[in-house]
Amino acid sequence: MTVSRGLEGVVATQSSISSIIDDVLTYRGYNIDDLAEQASFEEVVYLLWFGRLPNQEEHKVFADELSAQTELPEEIIAHFRSYNLDSVHPMAALRTAVSMLGLFDDEADIDDPEANKRKAIRLQAKMPALVTAFSRIRSGKDPIAPKKGLSIAANFLYMLTGEEPNDISVEAFNKALVLHADHELNASTFTARVCVATLSDMYSGVTAAIGALKGPLHGGANERVMKMLKEIGTIDNVEPYIQNALDNKEKIMGFGHRVYKTGDPRAKHLREMSQELTKVTGEEKYYEMSVAIEKLVTGQKNLPPNVDFYSASVYHSLGIDHDLFTPIFAVSRVSGWIAHILEQFENNRLIRPRAEYVGKEGETFIPIAQR
């Protein structure tokens, strides 16, 4: 048996959703750079699920279908209110809430392609509502319904704050959603596929994926990046802080990647957005500190920043609480998880690798009374 630790380099499935070839990322054959600059998040969701870009009419119908399904069951709102809101992490709340959503979906366990598409719309539509409702409830406010006619990006910011966001914020947030939507066989997407390959349901697959995204080696890194920026505090402290961390062989959050070797193509968009948005907020120091960190880490370790690095200062500049950064990742990535779940169902086979056994052998059983 040959063991590949962390399944590095193992090709576990074929997929026609997104590709990373020579450090270029595409969704359904479209370069991420074009999508980031020109597409709405709704268009990207459509593209991921149905394999092609919508025309204007299809886009409108799809956006209307999504906006008609945002309402949350009262029981989930009540559940949020019952938590110890000082200590529950929003990713944990989201994980449980998505699992609960399955309890209120009459088609949750119905496994046919049309029912799966309807579930996909319900699930995607409710994710922003879940994250913003939890955020408002823990600040002692009531959740607010989305505003008709606003995009998913605009509505997220509206439901979070209660105020209609400006165009710069909406454009930036839409771009962030586009950039995070799918990424080949990353850990959370693989988790979703493993789960539904047992012929379990979509809610189980997405719940499992949220659990995988939560960890700091994956989606949870964006919150940790912001924690690091706050700890560093000033541009003068970047060098000693990072040098000390590198000398102690600590991982610098937001750097490195299993697949990209020359750099993550999403990072440059987020770097640009970070520069623009920090100018607007007057907190340029977060952009400047980030650039200085990048210089040190790439210089010394040859590790380029990944998608999580500059997204931290972007979301901070949009006034978003730091522990909502990873839930926002999930609001976007659920589109990719669903695309992969649908693809897995289309051509399913149980996913069950092997482990090389390295434990004891030939042990003699001693009955419990004699041990």
Ligand X SMILES: CC(=O)SCCNC(=O)CCNC(=O)[C@H](O)C(C)(C)COP(=O)(O)OP(=O)(O)OC[C@H]1O[C@@H](n2cnc3c(N)ncnc32)[C@H](O)[C@@H]1OP(=O)(O)O
- Residue 183 in contact with ligand OAA, rule: CB under 6 A: yes
**Structure tokens given for 304:** 């380029």
| Residues 86, 69: Cα–Cα separation, whole Å | 30
**Which residue of 175, 193, 218, 316 would you call a contact of ligand X, by CB under 6 A?**
218
Around Cβ 55, how many Cβ atoms within 10 Å? 8
- Residue 7 in contact with ligand X, rule: CB under 6 A: no
- Residue 295 in contact with ligand X, rule: CB under 6 A: no
- In the set 257, 269, 316, 340, the catalytic residue is 257
- Which residue's C-beta sits nearest to ligand X? 256
- In the set 182, 308, 316, 340, the catalytic residue is 308
**Which residue of 306, 311, 313, 335 would you call a contact of ligand OAA, by CB under 6 A?**
306
| Residues 189, 191: Cα–Cα separation, whole Å | 5
Question: Cβ 256 to ligand OAA, closest distance in Å?
Answer: 10
Q: For residues 192 and 253, which CB has a smaller minimum distance to ligand X in the complex?
A: 253
Contact 214, 326 (CB under 8 A): yes
Angle value at C-alpha 98, between 93 and 100, nearest 5 degrees: 95
Q: Which does 217 bind (CB under 5 to 8 A by kind): ligand OAA, ligand X, none?
A: ligand X
**Which residue of 25, 159, 172, 253 would you call a contact of ligand X, by CB under 6 A?**
253
Q: For residues 225 and 238, which CB has a smaller minimum distance to ligand OAA in the complex?
A: 225
- Residue 186 in contact with ligand OAA, rule: CB under 6 A: yes
Please count the residues of this chain forming the interface with ligand OAA, following the rule CB under 6 A.
6
> Could you give the C-alpha distances from 210 to 188, 253, 331, in angstroms and in order?
7, 19, 10
**Phi-psi label, residue 193: left if phi above 0, alpha if psi -120 to 50, beta otherwise:** alpha
Please count the residues of this chain forming the interface with ligand X, following the rule CB under 6 A.
18
Contact 193, 215 (CB under 8 A): no
| Residues 46, 117: Cα–Cα separation, whole Å | 11
- Residue 217 in contact with ligand X, rule: CB under 6 A: yes
Contact 287, 329 (CB under 8 A): no
**Structure tokens given for 337:** 């998880």
**Which residue of 98, 101, 181, 252 would you call a contact of ligand X, by CB under 6 A?**
252
Q: Which amino acid is at 191?
A: T
- Residue 312 in contact with ligand OAA, rule: CB under 6 A: no
Q: Which does 122 bind (CB under 5 to 8 A by kind): ligand OAA, ligand X, none?
A: none
- Residue 219 in contact with ligand X, rule: CB under 6 A: yes
- Residue 256 in contact with ligand X, rule: CB under 6 A: yes
Contact 125, 69 (CB under 8 A): yes
- Residue 308 in contact with ligand X, rule: CB under 6 A: yes
Q: For residues 151 and 186, which CB has a smaller minimum distance to ligand OAA in the complex?
A: 186
Question: Cβ 323 to ligand OAA, closest distance in Å?
Answer: 19
308 is catalytic: yes
Helices (H), 162-201: 167-180, 187-196
**Which residue of 44, 159, 307, 312 would you call a contact of ligand OAA, by CB under 6 A?**
307
Contact 89, 78 (CB under 8 A): no
| Residues 300, 93: Cα–Cα separation, whole Å | 38
Any idea of the CA torsion for 317, 127, 203, 122, to the nearest 10 degrees? -150
Enclosing H/E stretch for 126:
helix 113-138
Chain residues in the site for ligand X (CB under 6 A): 6, 217-219, 221, 251-258, 301, 303, 306-308
Binding residues for ligand OAA (CB under 6 A) = 183, 186, 258-259, 306-307
Please list the active-site residues: 257, 308
